[in-house]
């Protein structure tokens, strides 16, 4: 058996710190251009102005070195660890937390994590982060840092459909949820849809889905078509940018599907705000 | 965009002509408070204690800034979602608050108590924290410093932009826009 490739957990921590910085001050490439294009399609003056503000906000965040949003989010970290890697050092979660703590302190990011959900005392470090690890083939480690604000997280939805529900039922449900959420999650949305799995898997898939890449198409043409139909329906609701009315309710729809039980059809929705913040690295 | 300039504090005369959908630019002081601060302010009012500021005619901004980097008045400073402050709105209106700035929908109850109190509700540009920081010239913690981003701040703004969502006549921009599609 070939020897495992050693990777230091401290390096993973330092990488996480750098990724938090990258995600906090600028959106993935293509997002600003998307808003500029959506702005051209809007007829209402308020909608056009709102999209213009989002573009200007990204410029100012970079120029003034201020985070895109004052809600610098919780840090959700996906580590896809190759099974031919040997992790060297202390516990992985501690190292990742150290990276998050360092970034939030060093970069003047807002600390928004309370240690106990009922006692609600701020930990002052934005840790612990939410770490999802997966063991994958190979000898590399894929790290994605995804920052999610509380306002859009509060507009999350999970519905357990009957297995006989149609895609039209699912589209109707998604439309109703996005109208109900209205301005609250700061549209235009990047909508992640987790379909199938168990309830928990669908929710994590809805998170992972929005990280697929700006302008990417679903590999399965029928899901790609479903994404397009959902996007069209959402942009006909009238919610508009920041809920001020208009045709730019969603910027993109990303589905991540999973096998499921014969009795179940979970559909989980992640209504990510217009401030899509994630960054990736491979070690 | 046609902008209406508003100087704080607000009086009845300033609020009366405003209609849902109007775009406004605030100049003057805003008082910043979010979840935990509202809980404490209401506690102080219930116990008959004086508030850290005179609320009459003032505008509350639902916000929790990111830390100010050296040499800056404030960090990123966009609005937080307003419905979480709905349960406190009646108390705030009774204390004399005339305006609220946040983002997102208010409950029917909160809208009713605002109308009763002659107060209006604005949304600023959610998620545009860096953009809005440029309209804030100073910031000081007035109370509850131990709450960090949830403290009460007094900020001084120049041409701080917002859109009127709820006017004193029952108008609601969000509902108006949705009903156009039905």
Residue B177 and residue A238: Cβ atoms within 8 Å? yes
Per-residue pLDDT of B5-36, as tens digits, reads 999 999 999 999 999 999 999 999 999 999 99
Strand order in the sheet with A265-272: A157-161, A265-272, A189-196, A250-258
Q: Which residue ranges make up each domain of chain B?
A: 3-179
Q: Tens of pLDDT along B86-136?
A: 999 999 999 999 999 999 999 999 999 999 999 999 999 999 999 999 999
pLDDT tens for the 283 residues of chain A, in order:
678 999 999 999 999 999 999 999 999 999 999 999 999 999 999 999 999 999 999 999 999 999 999 999 999 999 999 999 999 999 999 999 999 999 999 999 999 999 999 999 999 999 999 999 999 999 999 999 999 999 999 999 999 999 999 999 999 999 999 999 999 999 999 999 999 999 999 999 999 999 999 999 999 999 999 999 999 999 999 999 999 999 999 999 999 999 999 999 999 999 999 999 999 999 9
SS3 of chain A: CCCCEEEEHHHHHHHHHHHHHHHHHCCCCCHHHHHHHHHHHCCCHHHHHHHHHHHHHHHHHHHHCCCCCCCCCEEEEEEEEECCEEEECCCHHHHHHHHHHHHHHHCCCCCCCECCCCCCCECCCCCCCEEEEEEECCCCEEEEEEEECHHHHCCCEEEEECCCCCHHHHHHHHHHHHHHHCCCCCCCEEEEEEEECCHHHHHHHHHHHCCCCCCCCCCCHHHHHHHHHHHHHHCCCCCCHHHCCCCCCEEEEEEEEECCCCCCEEEEEEEECCCCEEEEEEC
Which pLDDT does position B102 carry in this prediction? 98
Residues 6 or more apart whose Cβ sits within 8 Å of residue A25 = A61, A62, A65, A66, A67, A68, A107
**Residue ranges per domain, chain A?**
5-27+68-148, 150-275
Q: Please give the pLDDT value at position A2.
A: 77
**Distance from C-alpha of A215 to C-alpha of A124, rounded to nearest angstrom:** 37
Torsion B159-B160-B161-B163 (CA) sign:
negative
pLDDT bucket at B180, cuts 50 / 70 / 90: confident
CATH class of B3-179: alpha beta
Does the beta-carbon distance from B130 to A64 stay under 8 Å? yes
Which of A24, A65, A66 to mutate: most B Cβ within 10 Å? A66
- The pLDDT-based confidence of B182 (bands split at 50, 70, 90) is low
- Write down the pLDDT at residue B181: 76
Q: Are B104 and A112 an interchain contact pair (Cβ–Cβ within 8 Å)?
A: no
Closest CA to B169 of B16, B25, B59: B16
Test B69 with A65 for CB contact under 8 angstroms: yes
B103 to chain A, any CB pair closer than 8 A? The answer is yes
CA A82 to centroid of chain Cα atoms = 23
What is the DSSP-derived secondary structure letter of residue B145? Answer: G
Question: What CATH number has the domain spanning A150-275?
Answer: 3.30.1330
Q: Closest Cα of chain A to B6: distance in Å? A: 18
Question: In this predicted model, what pLDDT tens digit does every residue of B158-179 receive, in sequence order?
Answer: 999 999 999 999 999 999 999 8
């Amino acid at each position: 058996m070939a020897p495992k490739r050693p990777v230091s957990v401290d390096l993973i921590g330092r990488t996480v710190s750098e990724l938090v910085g990258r995600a906090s001050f600028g959106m993935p490439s293509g997002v600003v251009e998307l808003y500029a294009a959506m702005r051209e399609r809007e007829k209402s003056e308020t909608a056009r102005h709102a999209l213009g503000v989002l573009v200007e906000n990204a410029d100012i965040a970079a120029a003034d070195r201020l985070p895109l949003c004052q809600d610098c989010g919780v840090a959700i970290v996906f580590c896809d660890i190759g099974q031919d890697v040997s992790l060297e050092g202390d516990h992985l979660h501690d190292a990742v937390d150290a990276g998050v703590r360092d970034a939030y302190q060093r970069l003047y990011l807002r600390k928004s994590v309370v240690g106990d959900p009922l006692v609600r005392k701020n930990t002052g470090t934005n840790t612990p982060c939410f770490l999802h690890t997966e063991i994958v083939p190979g000898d590399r480690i894929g790290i994605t840092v995804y920052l999610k604000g509380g306002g859009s997280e509060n507009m999350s939805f999970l519905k357990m459909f009957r297995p006989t529900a149609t895609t039209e039922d699912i589209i109707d449900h998604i439309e109703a949820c996005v109208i109900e959420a209205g301005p609250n999650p700061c549209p235009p949305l990047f909508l992640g849809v987790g379909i199938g799995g168990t309830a928990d898997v669908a929710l994590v898939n809805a998170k992972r889905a929005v990280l697929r890449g700006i302008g990417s198409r679903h590999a399965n043409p029928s899901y790609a078509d479903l994404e397009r139909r959902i996007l069209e329906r959402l942009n006909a609701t009238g919610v508009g940018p920041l809920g001020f009315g208009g045709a730019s309710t969603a910027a993109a729809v990303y589905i991540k599907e999973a096998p499921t039980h014969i009795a179940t059809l979970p559909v989980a929705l992640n209504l990510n705000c217009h401030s899509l913040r994630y960054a990736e690295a491979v070690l | 965009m046609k902008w209406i300039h508003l100087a704080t504090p607000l009086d009845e005369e300033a609020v009366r002509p405003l209609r849902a959908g109007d775009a406004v630019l605030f100049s003057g002081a805003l008082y910043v408070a979010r979840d935990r601060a509202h809980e404490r302010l209401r506690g102080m009012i219930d116990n008959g204690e004086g508030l850290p500021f005179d609320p009459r005619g003032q505008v509350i901004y639902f916000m929790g800034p990111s830390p100010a980097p050296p040499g800056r008045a404030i960090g990123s400073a966009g609005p937080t979602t307003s419905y979480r402050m709905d349960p406190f709105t009646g108390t705030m209106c009774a204390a004399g608050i005339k305006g609220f700035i946040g983002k997102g929908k208010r409950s029917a109850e909160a809208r009713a108590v605002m109308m009763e109190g002659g107060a209006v509700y604005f949304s600023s540009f959610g998620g545009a924290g860096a953009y809005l920081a440029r309209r804030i010239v100073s910031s000081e913690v007035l109370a509850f410093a131990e709450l960090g981003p949830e403290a009460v701040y007094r900020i001084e703004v120049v041409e701080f932009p917002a859109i009127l969502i709820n006017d004193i006549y029952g108008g609601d921009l969000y509902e108006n826009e949705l009903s156009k599609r039905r």
